[in-house]
Amino acid sequence: MKKDFYIKQIGEKGKIKIFLVDGFIIRRDLDEEFTNFGQHYCFGYIPKYEFWIDKEASPDETDLFIDRLLNEWTLLKKAYEEAVKKDKTERKKFNENKTRKKTHINLLGKTKDGIEIWKIDGKHIRDTVDIDFVHGGHEFVYSFVPKNEVWIDNDILPKEIDFVLLHELFERDLMEKGLDYDHSHIKASEIEKGARHDSKILKKELEKFGWVK
């Protein structure tokens, strides 16, 4: 199944690269809600400094889409940064005079390659280290995660753990092999989505890492 939905780069706006993409493949394999165009703050799987424009049957609105994306991205980025600033302030007040907690809660197991899977105190990490840490992570994305560990946030429901674990293991494996984060994350999101719709995919992919329940 084709995975490469990038067609070509069609422009730049400062640090932002603008790509023509095959929306049909994105809607089929990644997100059926993707429309004519998209940017990071509406579609989290799109890299932060990329705009995606779906190829058009009548390509006469591209410039209008780019203008819309630039305005949207600028406003949403500002709103996001303000929200993070506010969250940090509130967390600081909430945690004043509280005792520092231990990060690791319990070891869930190990993969065949010895990668330790830990359930960790996600709130503690967000309070003290990284306010944007959610669901899970590994050392190739978060420098504070020890080598050869994958962390699973204790805030997620038990029925979600295997899907998050698959995403993190798949993404970590690609990054360990040299693929950059943005594209590793996209591919991990694709496999996670497939697993959420087909339990056989979940079982098969986790077994590749030696994770058998």
Give residue-wise pLDDT tens across range 146-195: 999 999 999 999 999 999 999 999 999 999 999 999 999 999 999 999 99
On the question of pLDDT at 20 being above 50, the answer is yes
Confidence of residue 85 (pLDDT cuts 50, 70, 90): confident
- pLDDT per residue as tens digits for the range 142-160: 999 999 999 999 999 999 9
Single out the residue of 148, 98, 146, 141 nearest to residue 123, CA to CA.
98
Can you give the pLDDT at residue 94?
Answer: 59
Task: Give the pLDDT of residue 88.
Answer: 77
The residue ranges of every structural domain in the chain are: 6-93, 104-208
126/69 Cα distance (integer angstroms): 30
pLDDT at position 129, please? 86
Q: Give how far the C-alpha of residue 110 lies from the chain's centroid of Cα atoms, to the nearest Å.
A: 22
Q: What average pLDDT does range 135-147 have in this prediction? A: 94
**Sheet with 37-39, edge to edge strand ranges:** 6-13, 16-21, 50-54, 37-39
Alpha-carbon span 168 to 188, nearest angstrom = 7
- CA dihedral 175→176→178→181, nearest 10 degrees, is 20
Identity at 123, one-letter amino acid code: K
Confidence (pTM): 0.64
The pLDDT of residue 2 is 45
Q: What is the pLDDT of residue 171?
A: 97
Residue 99 makes CB contacts below 8 A (sequence gap 6+) with none
